[in-house]
Chains A and B, each alone.
Chain A
Amino acid sequence: SQTIHQWPATLVQPVGSPLSLECTVEGTSNPNLYWYRQAAGRGLQLLFYSVGIGQISSEVPQNLSASRPQDRQFILSSKKLLLSDSGFYLCAWAGSGNTIYFGEGSWLTVV
């Protein structure tokens, strides 16, 4: 069966510090991968998606970036965090059947 792992689960970072969130999927090949952000009590905002290694589409211009160095690995990064980057970050994957599955999420607090 397919599983998705995302880490770290929680982190508190100062403004201006870098960020790296990592996500891996197991049990499938060539998945579509996604990063969503959810501000407190708000909806799911699509940040990036990838349909293959090295292929990244950005949905929202911001100080975040994403990379896909391997087929089942998706990384969200920032060189300098802003207070507005705080939120619940969700990695997700989808296979050929359309259904999108979410990781357990990473709570980021920028202080």
Chain B
Amino acid sequence: GENVEQHPSTLSVQEGDSAVIKCTYSDSASNYFPWYKQELGKRPQLIIDIRSNVGEKKDQRIAVTLNKTAKHFSLHITETQPEDSAVYFCAAEPKGTYKYIFGTGTRLKVLA
């Protein structure tokens, strides 16, 4: 079955710097890759997603890149702000399985 690895587990950046979180997946049939942000004690919220027919997607300060050959995808946050501090999860869904397998999460701290 699908396995998703996520790195780093914790990440501290200065306000205004960029943050990058990387995930690798094992199932080459995976074709949908969402990213979620979870604030303390709350539910995960979708922030951006990408499908396997696209290499990059951007939404304001957030971007996701996908390398299908290497089977990895990354979240990029530019001009980080204190409110970006949260736990971020990546996920992968093998096509046709309806199963979303999540990475172990990255705790991002943006230092003011």
Contacts and interface: CB of A to CB of B under 8 A. Distances in A.
Interface stretch (A17-25, A61-69, A71-79, A97-105): A97-105
Interface string B39-51: 0001111100101
Chain A interface main SS type: strand
Given A98-B32, A99-B34, A43 B103 contact: yes
Interface of A: 32, 34, 36, 42-44, 46, 49, 51, 57, 59, 90, 92, 94, 98-105
Given A90-B43, A104-B43, A44 B102 contact: yes
Given A44-B89, A90-B43, A103-B43, A49 B99 contact: yes
B89 A43 contact: yes
Interface of B: 32, 34, 42-46, 49, 51, 89, 91, 93, 98-105
Contacts of B100: 34, 46, 92, 94, 100
Contacts of B89: 43-44
Contacts of A90: 43-44
Nearest to A45: B102
A105 B102 contact: no
A42 B107 CA distance: 10
A72 B49 CA distance: 25
Contacts of A59: 99
Contacts of A98: 32, 34, 49, 51, 93
Given A32-B98, A99-B34, A99-B49, A43 B104 contact: yes
B98 A102 contact: no
Nearest to A103: B43
Contact of B44 (A32, A57, A102): A102
A1 to B, nearest CB: 15
Contacts of B45: 102
